[in-house]
Amino acid sequence: MADSPYIFEIDESNYEQIVLRGSFQVPILVDFWASWCQPCQMLMPVLAKLADEYQGKFILAKVNTEEQQAIAQQFGIRNIPNVKLFRDGQPVDEFAGALPENEIRAFLDRHLPRESDGTVAQAQQLLMGGDAQGARALPEQAREQDPANPRLALMLAQTCAAAGDVDGAEQVLDTLPADEQDNPETKMLRGQLFFERIAQQGTPGADPAARVEQSPDDSDARYRLAAQQIVTNDIAGALDNLLLVMQKDRKYGDDAARLALLKVFDMLGDDPAVNRYRARMFALLH
């Protein structure tokens, strides 16, 4: 372990060079540990094995919290083992405890570059250019060589959605491992598919905006208009319309407007708009 070119003992003299500056070149996995910590002793050989196996795709930096208290305090380390992944000078993800090897691999694979990531970028360019079918073919082919890359699956689902294949997109998302299901991108896409399906279920050829203009109290038209607005990224307009349906017609679709609002809140995550609209929803409920 001591002779590995991919593992470094960190102190104040090399912390900035290896962890901060180094993370602009390659991901740095920082293991905060102590000699008295039994889970730390269990975790260390697993991390060392992976560092050597990944052959420089990441660097393992070990911080003895007993000897390097200033560094540990800087990151608020209270419980160990604590492992943080640094990119571009900042911690971007972490885990605590002696996780099994397969979970650590999954943690690393979410962040480490893979050859097939180039396909994701190519597909994104085609998608932005309006070629949904061409974009879809790239991740489909690449997944045959690298089926474990979740970024390929997510891109494939996005291209399916862009082509109007909601069922196909949902089936692809269902193949993602459990730890990827809570990924913000996954949750956002699932929400978009939920509203895409609602928009598709409307009366063929009927424009919900025109229906709302003709009949402002038509709850079904306003609900489907909100779904259409989510699909076209008019989030504020959609939230306002869902609140209006909830205010005027709570019974519509077995409280469909409130449930849709919760779905949007889940899609938006930490967006500041969530608190504002959640407060408005709460006011209507009470």
Count CA within 13 A, CB hemisphere, residue 59: 21
18 with 10: CB under 8 angstroms?
Answer: yes
3-state secondary structure of 14: coil
Given a contact cutoff of 8 angstroms between Cβ atoms, the answer to whether 33 and 64 are in contact is: yes
Which residues are identified as catalytic? 37, 40
What's the burial of 90, exposed, middle or buried (CB within 10 Å: 0-12/13-18/19+)? exposed
User: Edge to edge, what strands does the sheet with 7-9 contain?
Assistant: 7-9, 59-64, 28-33, 82-87, 90-96
d(CA 212, CA 194): 21
- 196-218 per-residue burial string, b: 16 or more CB within 10 A, e: under 16: bebbeebeeeeebeebbeeeeeb
The DSSP output letter for 59 is E
